[in-house]
């Protein structure tokens, strides 16, 4: 993504990091292989697949979180440096296949489950929230997109998961501040 004065923001799904590079490096032929991007997937601008949010913090009732979902959320939260987002999505797909389909759930029901997990743990972080949401969407038989965006001109990143154009849960409506850097399609 161009940021002006001949520099580009480049996101590496392999390392889970964003780099500010001069144009000669950003346009080089070796860079995509080095940071885990396929050349055909490079885009200067991505559209946000989310058009709305189903549940914002404080709305609706919280179901019981159980024990597996908080452990999965904690795993995604603690080991993000080891389990990059691409690997975490593969893990979520694999776990969802093992679990089988848990019936059709709406985005609001998935959002209330994620909210219950965050309230039980006392932690609210976009990265594990997006991955847990993706897992719950996959278990419900719904396709979803996990998006990582950046807040220009800063290096602040934000992740969110949407299904059918709806983000199941965001505690604060701020995903629209972020320009998408990468969109991962998660399907069974």
56 and 27 in a single domain? The answer is no
76 and 112 in a single domain? The answer is yes
Helices (H) and strands (E) in the chain, counts: 6, 8
Check residue 4 and give its pLDDT: 63
DSSP string, 127-170: HHHHHHHHHHHHHTT--EEEEEEE-TTS--EEEEEEBTTEES-B
37 and 56 in a single domain? The answer is no
- Domain span at residue 29? 2-41
Per-residue pLDDT, averaged over 89-98, amounts to 88
Instruction: Note the helical H segments in 43-161.
Output: 68-78, 85-99, 107-121, 126-139
Check residue 85 and give its pLDDT: 83
Number of domains in the chain: 2
Check residue 48 and give its pLDDT: 61
Check residue 78 and give its pLDDT: 92
């Amino acid at each position: 993504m161009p940021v002006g004065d001949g520099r580009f923001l480049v996101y590496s799904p392999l390392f889970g990091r964003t780099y500010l590079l001069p144009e000669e490096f950003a346009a080089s032929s070796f860079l995509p292989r080095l940071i885990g991007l396929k050349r055909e997937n490079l885009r200067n601008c991505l559209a946000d697949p989310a058009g709305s949010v189903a549940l914002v913090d404080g709305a609706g009732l919280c179901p019981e979180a159980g024990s597996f979902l908080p452990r999965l959320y904690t795993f995604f939260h603690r080991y993000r440096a080891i389990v990059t987002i691409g690997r975490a999505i593969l893990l979520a797909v694999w776990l969802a296949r093992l679990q089988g389909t848990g019936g059709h759930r709406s985005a609001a029901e998935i959002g209330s489950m994620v909210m219950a997990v965050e309230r039980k743990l006392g932690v609210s972080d976009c990265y594990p929230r997006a991955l847990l949401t993706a897992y719950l969407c996959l278990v419900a038989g719904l396709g979803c997109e996990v998006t990582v965006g950046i807040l220009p001109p800063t290096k602040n990143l934000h992740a969110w998961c949407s299904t059918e154009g709806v983000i199941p849960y965001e505690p604060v409506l701020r995903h629209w501040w972020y320009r998408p850097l990468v969109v991962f399609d998660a399907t069974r």
